Structure 1
Amino acid sequence: MAMTLRLSDGETEALRNYAEESGRSMQDVAREAIRDYIGERTKRRAEILARIVGEDTELLDLLSK
């Protein structure tokens, strides 16, 4: 799926510099950053939900009735 990503001049420059330093395309760097961000957010959400379920088991049980 094609998409347009609008970046500020500073963001574009930072992305360009990083891509050049790592020998990769700007697109590859941006796609990896998105995958990493989503993966980290998903992991954090799962950890938080597991903690809530563990700490509030009784409350969640009452709410489910």
Structure 2
Amino acid sequence: MTLRLTDDETAALRRRAEQESRSMQEVARQAVREYVENHSRSELLDAVLDTELPRYAEALERLGQ
């Protein structure tokens, strides 16, 4: 895989890596892991809500009154 960044993105990544005393690769890999993890959680939550929310719609409606 090749990751092409703009000059600004490269500079920002370099600064972040220097601030953390880590390599640019380490910082980028962590960012990818966090992105995938966060989006996976979001998709799981959406799926649960899609299936469970209708089950409790009446009760939630009554609570809102």
Give the TM-score normalised by the residue count of structure 1.
0.80
Q: What is the alpha-carbon distance in structure 1 between the residues aligned to residue 2 and residue 50 of structure 2?
A: 38
Q: Which runs of 4+ in 1 moved over 6 A?
A: none
> Which sections of structure 2, spanning at least 5 residues, go unmatched?
56-65
**Which residue in the other structure is 1:5 paired with?**
3
Query: Number of aligned pairs?
Result: 55
Percent identity (aligned)? 42
> Which sections of structure 1, spanning at least 5 residues, go unmatched?
58-65
Moved more, 5-14 or 48-57: 48-57
**Which residue in the other structure is 2:44 paired with?**
46
RMSD over aligned CA atoms reads: 0.9
Q: What is the alpha-carbon distance in structure 2 between the residues aligned to residue 34 and residue 12 of structure 1?
A: 15
Which of 20, 23, 35 is the aligned partner of 2:21? 23
**Which residue in the other structure is 1:36 paired with?**
34
Shift of 1:4: 1.2
